[in-house]
Amino acid sequence: MGSWDLRWSGTDATGEQRAAVGELHVGWVLGGRVVQDVWIVPGPGQPGAGVAPRAFHGSTLRFPDPALGAWRSTSIEPVNGRVRTFVGREEGDEIVLVSLGGDPLLRWRFTDITPESFTWLGEASTDEARTWVLEERMLATRRPG
């Protein structure tokens, strides 16, 4: 929960290697039943902010599903016209979300989690999840206050 500063690096939608800074805001919504993330990369005032295909400005809604024993998650990214659904679980000391279909399959991993920082890894698979390729990385640090 809270607000985070992000340092993003990876391959953008045009295939170009890039780096950017941005922000993430996380909180409970809908009466404490759902967690909402708001991702803004590049951040306000940064080159490429809000411009497709170089920006990731989106929101993720997720909630625990006791029958599934996992979290259901939907990510929307209106700048690039994308909607993806995921199932997320704790795996060891990581949180791992895997997309439900789509080409390529996506895996989002939250690693190196501490109260003040974490690493987010965006990976893709074109061989039915047998292998994964790292496409992007975000280093997050908690904002003071």
CATH code for the domain defined by 2-142: 2.40.128.20
Give burial (CB, 10 Å; 0-12/13-18/19+) of 65: exposed
> Which amino acid is located at 105 in the chain?
L
| pLDDT value of position 3 | 97
Strands (E), the chain: 2-11, 17-29, 34-41, 56-65, 70-77, 82-91, 94-99, 105-111, 117-125, 133-142
Asked if residues 131 and 105 have their Cβ atoms less than 8 Å apart, the reply is no
Quote the pLDDT of residue 48: 77
Enumerate residue ranges in the chain where pLDDT < 50. Answer: none
The pLDDT of residue 143 is: 97
The pTM of this model reads 0.89
Residue range 28-70, pLDDT digits in tens: 999 999 999 999 998 888 877 777 766 778 999 999 999 999 9
DSSP state of 50: T
Q: What pLDDT was estimated at residue 12?
A: 64
Q: Judge whether 122 and 136 are in contact, CB under 8 Å.
A: yes
Residue 55 confidence (pLDDT):
72
